[in-house]
Amino acid sequence: MSEKTKIGLTNVQETLLLPLWGRAKESQKDDPLLVDKEAVRIIDTIDYDFSKMEENLDEISQLSWIFRCIHIDRTVKELLNRHPEATVVNLGCGLDTTFERVANGSLRWYDLDLPDVINLRSRLIPWNERRKDIPGSAFDTGWFDEILANDNHILFIAAGLLYFFDETHIRELFLRMVDRFPGSEIMFDACSPFGIKMANRMVVKRSGMTEKAFLQWSLKSPQQIEKWDMRIKVLDAYPYFCRVSIKKGSIGLGLRFKTRLFNFFKASYMVHLKFLET
């Protein structure tokens, strides 16, 4: 038996294991909503005790990661249907495996995260010539120069990233992106104030992580972001637990009720923005 890969991440970075575990768990169900063979393989190669997640996390937390993946996969595939040679920049990529699920052979892909995360990715995820790793913080915009000048139809994705930071940093990043990448789009997930409280109580604490991994930024309405700059336009926004076909009886009544409650309070939702050209 080969030796498993040890990880050495900070509390915030350790949260990247949560959606990875969620995707692997879903993939091994009899009738999964999402199949992610890479997530299953990676989980099997990591030296990490996932027992606290298995024992303490509510089922709706795991389901939310699956829905988020489905929404992002669908958006990327729709982009590729229109522009097969489009570019995707994955901000705060963690151990995300979206590329493996959507790659069409001509898509250009960038994975950006802190150096120790990128180092871990390089040990766990096979190299692909269509994908480039960028070590660094999303908020240190020196990474802008890594994006090739001839890249077009750029979509930025930021799954499970932005709400770990305060609004000042996010606003500054978006305004710099508007200046540098006019015509591009960004898709990310956000939480309402209610959602932030629920996530910190139900996910971070129950998974055994410390308050350093708590979520910070809450967004009552995506239209608030349009006020940051007239060049930012909301293309779409919708709660997590919608726009996904679920077979009758595949989730219990209790869980189905929770999804409706979370949607009603907009606990977590997807936001798709366009950075307009002037």
pLDDT in tens, 99-117: 999 999 999 999 999 998 9
| Residue 23 predicted with pLDDT over 70 | yes
- Across-strand partners of 268? 191
Q: What is the pLDDT of residue 195?
A: 86
| Residue 175 predicted with pLDDT over 70 | yes
| Residue 1 predicted with pLDDT over 50 | no
Per-residue confidence at 212, pLDDT binned at 50, 70, 90?
A: low
In 3D space, the residue among 36, 135, 133, 148 whose CA is nearest the CA of residue 85 turns out to be 148
Sign of the alpha-carbon torsion through 199, 200, 205, 208: positive
Domain 5-275, CATH number (from 3.40.718.10, 3.40.50.150, 3.50.50.60, 3.40.50.970): 3.40.50.150
Tokens of 190: 């956000």
Cα distance between residue 149 and residue 49, in whole Å = 43
Tokens of 277: 């050209």
Cα distance between residue 116 and residue 93, in whole Å = 12
Tell me the average pLDDT across 86-106: 96
Residue type, 36: D
| Residue 217 predicted with pLDDT over 80 | yes
